[in-house]
Chains A and B, each alone.
Chain A
Amino acid sequence: MVSTDRPTRGYRVFQGVNGLVLTGVVVVTLYPFVHIVARSFSGERQIRAGEVTLWPKGFNLTTYKIVFQDGMFWRNYGNTVFYTVVATAVAMLLTTCYAYVLSKKHLRGRGVLVGVAVFTMFFSGGLIPTYVLVTSLGLKNTVWALALPNAISVFNLLVMKAFFESLPDELEEAAQIDGLSTYGILLRIVLPLSKAVVATMVLFYSVSFWNSWFGAFLYMDRAELMPVTVYLRNLIAGATGGTGAGAGTEQLTQAMANIQAVTIVLTALPILCVYPFVQRYFVSGVMLGAVKG
């Protein structure tokens, strides 16, 4: 009994060392983030001189101002939010339905359905045929061009299928006896029990839609339809390409010095804010899928 109340000396040493090592890992992981944030608030001269490490030096908001003052930035930011929400909703709906169907062992032709999905993991139609398809379906310049082609990620689908398979069959049998229809079982029994995997999938999908730029770059023809990722990508190219000098000299040199830091902060921030809330589910969700799958 004593030993459980008071850990042995060896164990305490281990804990101490463990704590130190893990703190080290945390520092190593956090350092780049903190450095980028510090850089984004620093003056151009201090950045050039390499003085900025963990704390902003020569506090300066010029680049943020350049980015914020541009109406297009806000417009594109709004697009990103809209595209992410719609695309994630569509993706969740389709992936959940598909995965649930696939998790039923008694389904005939299940092997073919899995095969169809897995096939697309290894082979794709190629850039130009896909573009022609999306264009001829009239999806260009709409949110559907982004949401539909990427609606089912096969990896996510398989993780989800494995999770559904891990639920005991007896549960569904009981629900069936109590008179629930197939959809009733999915909505009232299975999904409430699957919050972990649903949260994980929402996170996976929304992060990938938030960060993606290529689809929008392909299918959007007007600057005001672009998501913020394309806007920032273009901004970085312009600031480092050295071709255009639109802003005043002082502003421009400042922007060139920390535009990358500013853009990273601006794009990463919202998604970073989501993590703490989903993390609880995230860990258990990924583990469950992994063990079974």
Chain B
Amino acid sequence: MTHEFPRMTGSAFAPDWFETMAVNASAAERRAATLTTRRTVKKEFQAAWLARAITCIDLTTLAGDDTAGRVQRLCAKARAPLRGDLMAALGLDQLTVGAVCVYPTMVSHAVRALEGSGIPVASVATGFPAGLTPLPLRLAEIRYAVEQGAAEIDIVITRELVLTGKWQALYDEIRQMREACGPAHMKAILATGDLKTLTNVYKASMVAMQAGSDFIKTSTGKEDVNATLPVSLTMVRALRDFRERTGQWVGFKPAGGLKTAKDAMNWLVLMKEEADVRWTMPDLFRIGASSMLGDIERQLEHYVTGRYSAANRHALA
């Protein structure tokens, strides 16, 4: 991944950037609903957008039954997400997903499997998904994952600090996590399904960015409600505001619930319209998903052949 801009440093804790913010939920829902009806992408443009979406996927396995073998299989798919003949037909010579995302104990398997591919390994950490283990253990877990070779760490925030409005404490905690990450990029998972209100989502986004998160991410995938367009819209507007204030570029990662090629298109439209085209590139945009890739493959095959495709024609992850 090449960076055209310096890495995020965050800012001092500045509550006045978000304290008076109130997100109007119904207006956010209206905008989210019309975003996807105001824009559509067809034919070769659609194919290109879907190919772009593949490069933004954090191909993920976060299950209790993960094994080295399962992770190796996932990594093989990450290296070659699209069948060779389809690649050729699309005129693409090289295409990989954005990253492979696993639990800390799976990092070493993934690192080995991805050696030489340039694909970063992302690890969840900090007592994922609830994030309620003691802070020293959470920080130690980050360091462990980095030592294992993770280039990206997906941390979870302490929801209690949001729900009770302890913003300074939230800032301090995320700052420590960022320090623990060292050179690894940090994605802060807000678990927006637990935060409930869009105003909470905005405030938590702002604190996470002030504390130096490289990415803000919606969900662990384990909450009742995962990434939605209104939540994503709110977070994207927060990172836009943060960029206006600091000049820093923060990435965005919706995760959980994005399953179809249509979802990928919708979120890319959101990024392009509400942030900028630059935010449709994998260094600033990731999609946390496990099943979305399969649907994109089938859509791309349809584009190439004109026939509707079936899942069994594409390699499993």
Do A and B originate from a single complex?
no
Residues of chain B having any CB pair with chain A under 8 Å: none
Residues of chain A having any CB pair with chain B under 8 Å: none
